């Protein structure tokens, strides 16, 4: 069953976050991830506003978690940690 990785992000350092994005894309693709939404227009309805929203579909919950835990993604994430405020969740589809 497909799973969705949903991230809400406020970027605080564009340069560092750019390095994250450059590395994260290939790491995500290597685990079967496909971007469905990536930073487009949005309407905030509830909760804290974040300027960037990303939805990525993976083949399974396990594939999404394996991607997050992978060395390649963790290397990418090292550039985002001090360059953004993020909330990330993986949810199984129906």
Q: Which residues constitute the domain of residue 80?
A: 3-41+48-92
Domain CATH for 19: 3.30.70.100
Distance from C-alpha of 22 to C-alpha of 8, rounded to nearest angstrom: 18
The structure's pTM equals: 0.91
Domain total of the chain: 1
- The pLDDT tens digits along the chain (94 residues) read 999 999 999 999 999 999 999 999 999 999 999 999 998 999 999 999 999 999 999 999 999 999 999 999 999 999 999 999 999 999 999 9
Inter-helix orientation angle 71-80/14-30, to 10°: 160
């Amino acid at each position: 069953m497909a799973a969705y990785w949903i991230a809400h992000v406020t970027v605080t350092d564009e340069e560092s976050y750019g390095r994250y994005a450059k590395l994260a894309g290939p790491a995500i693709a290597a685990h079967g991830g496909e971007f469905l939404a990536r930073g487009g227009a949005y309407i905030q309805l509830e909760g804290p506003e974040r300027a960037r929203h990303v939805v990525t579909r993976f083949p399974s919950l396990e594939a999404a978690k394996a991607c997050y835990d992978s060395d390649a993604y963790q290397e990418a994430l090292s550039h985002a940690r001090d360059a953004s405020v993020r909330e990330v969740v993986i949810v199984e589809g129906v």
